Amino acid sequence: MLTEKRQLRPAPAGFTPAQWATFQRDGILIIPDALGAHEVETHRDAALHCLQSRPHTNAGHTHKVENVVAEDPAFTPLIDHPRHIGFAFDIYGDQLRLVQADLFRRPRQGAISKWHVDGPRALPYRAFSPVLPLKLRIGYWLTDLPEPGMGNLVYLPGSHNPDYEGEHTGHDQLPGERSLCVSAGTMTISHASLWHRVEANTTDHTRLNIFLSYTPSWITGYYRMNTDWLSGLTREQQIILRGYDLDKELFSRPPAEDLPLFEDGDVTTHAEAEPHKIRRRTRYERHLREVAQP
């Protein structure tokens, strides 16, 4: 039983109805100039520093630094940054989890990847969750990608939708595909079931970006958290990283003190007793579900 009301951080804004409609239609939302020039520079410097301390030893694979939010203090605020966390909170509510945070480097002749969706292939997320993504990927683009052929992400708009039945392998071009051409500072928000691949970089411009992947807390896999490092983070950051490795049932049933995550205007937010046993509707359920595609 909780005896006093917790001071909760207000939930940052998420999708507007227009943004949700675009995301539903395309499976990706592209927000130019999300980062200012100074932030791009700071993130790029931190990225180069992380990459130097993690030389590329796995030839043929992407040069990446995993769990980058723990690698450099410049990236730690990305765990729950108000610029993007509301998008993931809209969908996953109190069970929001940051499951992957990878820094990618794609130089000339770097690794490319074949058509795929994120998550399992034999039994994909969409079999259980045909509408909502079971993984939402925030991309921060730290270098300009003005044209194709620069190691761009290539995607098939709408291929995340429940009625899309295509299954793809290999690198071949597909009708309707798009190569993501953006300037540094752009943020993307993509649906795990969107078909995508990575094309070759045939230029001398190295592509740098960060992907932050959010899921419901009960999706398995990825990193083991360093508990000493976790203890220095804010309440919301600690919850979002879910350092539950010693009691794995908590991934499905988080402890009472981890709910609610944010103050989100729901009438059940300040339930005094057993907040972890009260059904709370996500903002998607309350506001976005009824938004029609354009």
Which residues would be at the binding site for ligand AKG (CB under 6 A)? 104, 113, 118, 153, 196, 198
Phi, psi of 215, rounded to the nearest 5 degrees: -145, 175
Nearest to 196 by CA among 28, 60, 11: 28
Minimum CB distance to ligand AKG smaller for 97 or for 196: 196
In the complex, least distance from residue 51 CB atom to ligand AKG, rounded to whole angstroms: 15
Q: How many CB atoms lie within 10 A of CB 96?
A: 24
Which amino acid does the sequence have at 265? G
Minimum CB distance to ligand AKG smaller for 153 or for 184: 153
Minimum CB distance to ligand AKG smaller for 136 or for 233: 136
Minimum CB distance to ligand AKG smaller for 136 or for 198: 198
In the complex, least distance from residue 100 CB atom to ligand AKG, rounded to whole angstroms: 9
Distance between CA 16 and CA 24 in Å, rounded?
A: 12
Distance between CA 282 and CA 264 in Å, rounded?
A: 9
Nearest to 94 by CA among 222, 283, 271, 289: 283
Distance between CA 240 and CA 245 in Å, rounded?
A: 14
In the complex, least distance from residue 137 CB atom to ligand AKG, rounded to whole angstroms: 8
Q: Are 105 and 208 in contact (CB under 8 A)?
A: yes
Which residue is closest to ligand AKG by CB?
Answer: 153
Q: Show the tokens assigned to 21.
A: 């409609």
Minimum CB distance to ligand AKG smaller for 113 or for 206: 113
Minimum CB distance to ligand AKG smaller for 106 or for 280: 106
**Where does residue 107 fall: left (phi above 0), alpha (psi -120 to 50 degrees), or beta otherwise?**
beta
In the complex, least distance from residue 116 CB atom to ligand AKG, rounded to whole angstroms: 6
Distance, C-alpha 136 to centroid of its chain: 4
Q: Show the tokens assigned to 43.
A: 């993130």
In the complex, least distance from residue 131 CB atom to ligand AKG, rounded to whole angstroms: 21
Mention every residue, 6+ apart, whose C-beta is less than 8 A from residue 74.
42, 43, 45, 46
In the complex, least distance from residue 32 CB atom to ligand AKG, rounded to whole angstroms: 17
In the complex, least distance from residue 145 CB atom to ligand AKG, rounded to whole angstroms: 10
Minimum CB distance to ligand AKG smaller for 153 or for 240: 153
